[in-house]
Structure 1
Amino acid sequence: MSDTKELVLKYLEENKDSFSSGEEIANHLKLSRNSVWKAIKSLRNSGYQIEAATHRGYHLVGDMDLITLKGISDNLLPGIAQDRIHVYKQIESTNKTAKGAAAFDAPHGTCIIAESQTLGSGRKKRPFFSPKGGIYMSVILTPDKLPFKNTSLVTAYIAVCVCNSIEALTGKKPMIKWSNDIYIDNRKICGILTESAGDLDTGELSWIVAGIGINFAVDTGTFPKEMRSHAGSLFVPEKAPLSKNDLIAEILNNILLKGKNIDILKSYRNRSLVLSKDVTVYDKDNSYPAKAVSIDDMGKLVVSLPDGSSKTLTHEEIRIEL
């Protein structure tokens, strides 16, 4: 989105309770009225609902908690490159777009953000329901820029960073259901999907894409029936005490800067929703009962089985009664 569009959109959002004339907007932003008119037209073409009334001006309608580059940038810590953040109103999949950018050497910290996805995906290529009111973002990471060497801990690291961000801004304490789901009050409010590519000759990772989908302020009644029993939302629609931009910026601050001080495994274990709990393990077409015992130094879940033996889970999934 161009700087002019960002400025006009931010002005309309900040003055959402009234109409603003083109002249008022132009004078406040030090733009020409023609530039304002072009920005309004472009915003409408991008899907934003902007009413126009003779002698009154323009008024932004619909969801006012809009994700904007300006709103995010205002809360970023120094040292995070704003020109690496790309915001879309709607996109097929932030991970798909980010992987395409990573394949063409997009730098560490590049972030793709959308208000909704049409083809979002989760683990094992399952559809990831992505309604409006959520936050959908994917961050490109390069191994040499991570504050730790063990890349098997990336999912744990991202989960901890997201939890720390939510807790810092809301006071709520998120918990992590191994390996990539975040819960509040026993309801899933966030899913994480990490994908990567490497060099076949060296076996080293070239890049990692960390996809984060958060139910920020969504109506869980709109979720598919099979998801409603465990899906939650961070806030009730239109009742959020902070903006999506605030949370996105805090997550980026944690992932790209603050995270260097995190004890990943200690934090991940302390936020575990499953340790010492009975779980059901799903491995392809098989399922069996187990008890979550520990999380090893690679971020894998160790479970004990009914026969007294133990097993370390890698690709399996677990379910827990909450």
Structure 2
Amino acid sequence: MFLAVGSEGGGGGGLGNTSVLRMLRMARLTRMARMARLLRVMPELMILIKGIVAATRSVCCTLLLLVMLLYIFGVAFTQMLLDTDFGAQHFSDVFTSMYTLLVAGTLLDNVGFMLERITAEHWVYGAFFLLFMLLATVTVLNMLIGVLCDVVSTVAGIERETMIVNFVKSRLLAVLESLDEDGNGTISKSEFMSVLEQKAAVEALDECGVDVEGIYEFADFIFADEEGVGEHRELGFNEFMEIMLQFRGTNLATVKDVVDLTKFMKLKMQQSTSDVRKLSELISTHYGGEYHAMTDRADA
């Protein structure tokens, strides 16, 4: 009886030890959290992962093309080598032929032996196998590598651009908050001029590729209202940052840019008309009748 109880107790202890071991193994999974830290420390690794995810559709299309080639040539080799001993071993049916072509013709595993054996049956079969290798390995697989490289390069450019923009935004927001005189969370034209006098803000804009001189020249237009008149409009920080990023030299012209150009030209024409009118009134005041006589002669 004591032996039975001891054995039962030992069995219970064994189950307990097993549970503890399982818990310890589960605790080891928490080490996977270190991967998140690794991704933060190495942004290049995250770029590669995002590139692979972004290229999933293109990779699937390329692999589908490879499967179509394997099926077409698999059917052909099955029919050509069906009556041979070598064909019965490696090309007995379509799926076996596709497997042989994938391993030997695409992944190039022992390709020399396979090419010699196929050519030994007939030189036409060897030429057909070389054609498959040319299409599958040289064309499709290189196309797959090119797609991955192009997508990863594009994703890397986008990530680098995003990092630069976020960095510039953080620096500019710090400068804007320090120069916000009324503390209302918006920026006026006078505050904007103060921002351009800050060396840190100018350096941040220059790092992002923003044309600082162009911003200074377009200050009247930036703070004009929707009708293109006045200079007293105040902008929120986020709206102001979006406008600043529109002055980057790498940006392409859009329809909105054409509309903004039209508004800017309208504003300048109104300013020019107002200046000419003021000048005309000033001349008329000083010269009186002589000025009217000169204008009458010019009209005549």
* TM-score over 0.5 (shorter chain): no
Using CA pairs below 8 Å that are at least 6 residues apart, which structure has the higher relative contact order? 1
Indicate the structure (1 or 2) with the bigger Cα radius of gyration: 2
Q: Which has the higher strand share?
A: 1
TM-score, normalized by length of structure 1?
Answer: 0.26
TM-score, normalized by length of structure 2?
Answer: 0.27
